Amino acid sequence: MIRVEAAQAITGAGLEGDHYSGRTGHRGITLLQAEHLPVIAALTGVEEIAPATLRRNLLVSGINLAALKGQRFQIGEVVLEGTSFAHPCSRMEEVLGPGGYNALRGHGGLCARVIQGGQLRVGDAVVAEGADVISSPDI
């Protein structure tokens, strides 16, 4: 996992260069809510969790990702549709230590399908279709 200032989202595939790009349309991009990082850290007994540790594509703040499941929303030029919750994988026990899997349950983020591709940039607003929900992601 590497942090970038911008990324290209490809319709129906995900992020250009991502290991999982093109494998399934419903999990084209994964998003993580920044507010959950301190909770996960507390549950695993560490001081801080680096976002890349959790293996999600976008880190966003100021928005309830769970509310976007089943909804279309836009980040920069990109239109996404929240498809399912991003559940933790068994590797979280290795990465976070004992209890890592359970610490991520309910805090794993959201999977989204790329409806309209384009450029994503750090600081782009997150806007839910038909609502005034706004946030800024870290990519």
Tens-digit pLDDT profile for residues 103-129: 989 899 999 999 999 999 999 999 998
Per-residue pLDDT, 66: 93
Segments of the chain scoring below 50 in pLDDT:
133
Cα–Cα dist 68/80, whole Å: 10
Distance separating the N- and C-terminal Cα atoms of the chain: 11
